[in-house]
Structures are given as C-alpha cells and as structure tokens.
Amino acid sequence: MIEEIGNLPGYELLDSGLFSFAGGFAGGGSKGALKGASESKRLDEVKSVSAAPGAVSNSASKKFDSVQDADAEGYRLERFGDFILARPDPAAIWEKELPQSEWEKADAFFARAKNAANFAPEVSASNGAASDATKGKWILKREIPEQWLLHFLTGTPLEISFYARLAPFKHTGIFPEQSANWNFIVEQAKRIESRKQMARQNFAEDSLENSLEDSSKNASENPLKNSAQNSAKNSSENPSKTSFENFKVLSLFGYTGIASALCAKIGWEVTHVDASRPSISWAKENMLASGLPGDSIRWILEDALKFVKREARRGAKYNAFILDPPAFGRGAKGEVWKFNEDLPKLMFALREISAPPEEFEFAIVNAYAVSAPSLLLKNLLDDFARGIGLEVGADQSTISNHNAAFLDTAALANTVEAKKAVIDYGELILRQSSNPKRLLSTGNFGRLYTH
C-alpha cells in the first residue's frame, strides 16, 4: 500500500485530535469570538506556535484535557491561505498536540448544533453558509470573505487556481490531500507527452526510410502517384495522431472541478459530470480562475451512471477516468447513489466507453467516508483493466520506479506492476505540522495506469 501525503501550497494541517466544548473557553469574551475566548492573535503567531511542538504547552493537563471529556469530538485545525479553520473529523480520535488556547485562535469554527451554546450569542454564521440545524454551522471569529484563492504549483506552467469557501456541512471545496493525485496527473501528462514525442520521432525516421526505399524501387513509376500513396499511408499510420491527439478525460462526481481544471490546463478534452448545480457553478469559477477559456470543459449536470450508459450508446470513448464518488448521494433527478451497490455497476459500465487498451492511459478512484479499504478499489480497477484488455501484473512489495518520482508525497509502497499496466492503491494522508510524525488518513485511493 502507498501512503500518499498531500502537499498543497497555502494549506497546513496545524493539529488534529479530540476537542471538547465542555465548560466553554477560558478568558474574557468579545464580539465575534468563542464564548469566553480572548481576542484572537494574528495568523503568523499561530503558525509560529504550531511550528515548535516542544513549546506548545507547559501543562500536560491542558494538552490532554479533552480526552476524558464525554462530549469530546475529533477535529482538525487547518490553515487555508490566510485563514485558520477548525472542522470536525470523526477519524481524529487521538490526543491533540496544541492546547485549547491555540485552537481558540481559529478564524472560523464549524460547530454542530449540540455545541452552539458554547459560542457567544453575537457570533455569526459565515456568508449564508449555515448548514441544516441538525448538522451544524460555521461560526466566524473575524470577517472572512465569501471566497478566497489558493493555488496548485506543479513546477511547470500548469499552475491552477481555485476558490475556498466556508460551505455547508463543514466543507471548503478543497480536499488538500488530493494534491497527491494532481501530482500523479501531471506525471502522467509528462509520460504521455514523452511517448508522443518518441512516436513522432520514430514515425519520421520510418517515413524517411520508407520513402527512400520506395524511391529506389519505383523510379520508373509515376512519382506523383507514389508520393500521394505514401502520404496517405503515413498519415493513417502516424501513431502521434491515432494514439495521442484528442486525449479525452471523464471526471465523474467532479465536485468543484480542481482535477478537471488541471486536465484542461494540460490541454486534454475534459468532460466534468456532477449532480449538483452549485458544485458545477463553483467548478466553472475555478476553471476561469485558472486562466482557462470559458469553453475549456464540457459540463454535464446528471447522474454519473446514467451519463456513462448514454455515452456508451453514442459510442463515446475516453482515454482516462477520474472518479470521486460519495458514500451516499442523489442524482440531478433524485437518483440514489450508494457506494457499495453502485460503484461496481459504474466501473463495469466504464468498460464500454474506454478507449482501446493501447490508447487507454489511467484511471483514478477515491473513497471517502465509507468503509471501503483500498484493496476494494484495487480489485475493482483490476476487474476494469482485464475487462478492457489490459494485463495487470502480480503484487510487488517494493517501491516502483513510478513512485520514486513522488518521494515528496509518497512514503511506503506496495504496488502492482506489469508490462502493460500498474495499479497503485493506498491511503490519502495529511501530515501534521505540530507533530510531523502524526499522519491523518483522509480516505483511500486506487490508480490504474499504463507504461
């Protein structure tokens, strides 16, 4: 298994662990603050504390006070650009590193309804982003804009930009751990382009050799006729045209479209499918923020499985797939999506719209908030690969050459290698700055790619 550690510029996981609302917060109150909390310090002060774990607290009781509280919940303390946010995370059930006083410096806090009484009555929900009362809402300690920009830098001209927002149900529109998959996409683009250039070079060399041979053999025949025949033959056999041009990517459950914008920035033809109209609107804004023209992405508001089946009837073919399915969801017309029931059906349906094995390049499948081990994703991708005629090799226990390119974002590996295809699978991870040894698993992934 691979542990892919997200590394998104402008994002930092400051702390994670059990957080308690019991007894409110120490100190004097002020408008727009947590109940009883002192005025929050500036962002750079919070960052300096998080960067020095040894100086976090002089009192173990302050550090570990929430562990024994019956109402303690798992939370993350995160920095998105200039703002520090505290959000629930049910998987963070360990002792937090930073004391309660540092957590109180968050600029916004997502509080569930049962904890609303712990906040001063003056505090406000963010920009209309309050969720269902049973789920909770964002609490602002200082003014935060409706949206603000973050950037993904690839070390190439492929920089993209996207908006963070305090959205309902604790979300921000950005999953920073996905930067590992974005790096993977960039690496695939480099590999595909390298193969494309090699194919062009080989084609040019073969064309020259064939032309010389034909010229010597057919000197007595009509040279214009031979030239036209060779030109038509070379055009139809040019691998740089038949295998690489019009590279098509299908992004299903595309959400706010960061991966879609990256693929479009590379120059691929992208179809983005999501059942949520607000999500597609957000994704369009991210596309424009990345400097892409308005027609760079094909937008589809529809149930994913219905769309794939319709594309199969049309004879559409794609060279790559990106899937971010939820545990549970509803389609644009009320269709119900259940991960364990519907993902196998979707993976099977994708075979019908996959490009031939010699032209298919990669597939990414993620799993969040669902009891789905990464081996489940690996096995589904294995079935998919065999279904389209790709051979996948046996399990390997060493880091592959592919993952060596991800040393900044990959730690351990157990990959599946073969002459034709590879499947990587494992956990998407965030590293905590207040304790770099602490890793937070945010979900699982599976990735199929050819080489």
- 169-178, 237-246, 253-262, 276-285: which range is least confident on average? 237-246
Q: Which two tokens stand for residue 51?
A: 């960067």
**Residue 140: per-residue pLDDT:** 93
What does the pLDDT average to over 327-356?
Answer: 87
DSSP codes joined into one string, 337-389: EEHHHHHHHHHHHHGGGBPPTTT--EEEEEE-SSS--HHHHHHHHHHHHHHTT
What does the pLDDT average to over 256-267?
Answer: 96
Contacts of residue 351, defined as CB under 8 A and 6 or more positions apart, other chains included, come to 384, 387, 388
pLDDT tens column, 61-117: 344 454 555 568 899 999 999 999 999 998 899 999 999 889 989 999 998 766 655
H-run or E-run covering 283: helix 277-289
Q: Are 252 and 346 in contact (CB under 8 A)?
A: yes
Which segments of the chain belong to CATH 2.60.40.1180? Answer: 7-149
Fold of 178-190+243-450: Rossmann fold (3.40.50)
Q: Are 308 and 343 in contact (CB under 8 A)?
A: no
**Residue 368: per-residue pLDDT:** 85
**Greater pLDDT, 451 or 208:** 451
Contacts of residue 110, defined as CB under 8 A and 6 or more positions apart, other chains included, come to 85, 86, 87, 88, 136, 137, 138, 139, 170
CA angle, corner 14, sides to 9 and 17, nearest 5?
A: 135
What does the pLDDT average to over 360-366?
Answer: 96
Instruction: Determine the distance from the C-alpha atom of residue 311 to the mean position of all C-alpha atoms in its chain, rounded to a whole number.
Output: 24
What pLDDT band is residue 119 in, cutting at 50, 70 and 90?
low
What does the pLDDT average to over 400-405?
Answer: 32
**Greater pLDDT, 90 or 156:** 90
pLDDT tens column, 37-56: 333 333 444 343 333 333 33
What does the pLDDT average to over 115-139?
Answer: 56
Q: How far apart are CA 224 and CA 326, in angstroms?
A: 60
DSSP state for residue 2 in the 8-state scheme: E
What does the pLDDT average to over 298-314?
Answer: 96
Superfamily of domain 7-149: Golgi alpha-mannosidase II (2.60.40.1180)
> Which residue shows structure tokens 């920089």?
159
- What is the overall mean pLDDT for the chain? 76
